[in-house]
Amino acid sequence: MDTNTILSLILGAALAGFVQGLSGFAFSLVSLSVWAWTLDPKLAAVMAVFGGLTGQTIAAVTVRRGFDFARLWPFLLGGLAGIPVGVLLLPLVDANLFKAGLGILLAVWCPIMLFAPHLPPVRFGGRLADSAIGLGGGIMGGFGGFSGVLPTLWCSLRRMDKDVQRSIVQNFNLTMLAATMLGYVLAGNVTREMWPAFAIVAPAMLIPSLLGGKLYIGISDQAFRRIVLTLLTLSGLALLSSSLPRLLGV
DSSP characters over 191-233: -GGGHHHHHHHHHHHHHHHHHHHHHHHTS-HHHHHHHHHHHHH
**The predicted structure's pLDDT at residue 135:** 95
**How far is the C-alpha of 48 from the C-alpha of 42, rounded, in Å?**
10
**Spatial contact of 205 and 50, defined as CB atoms under 8 Å apart:** no
Q: Tell me what the mean pLDDT of segment 119-143 comes to.
A: 89
| Confidence at residue 238, expressed as pLDDT on a 0 to 100 scale | 79
Q: Rounded distance, CA 62 to CA 223, Å?
A: 21
pLDDT in tens, 10-34: 999 999 999 999 888 889 888 987 8
Q: For residue 45, which of 25, 57, 60, 27 has the smallest C-alpha distance?
A: 27
pLDDT at site 239: 78
CA distance 184 to 229: 30
83's enclosing H/E stretch is helix 69-89
Q: Is the distance from CB of 55 to CB of 63 less than 8 angstroms? A: no
Q: Of 204 and 38, which is predicted with more confidence?
A: 204
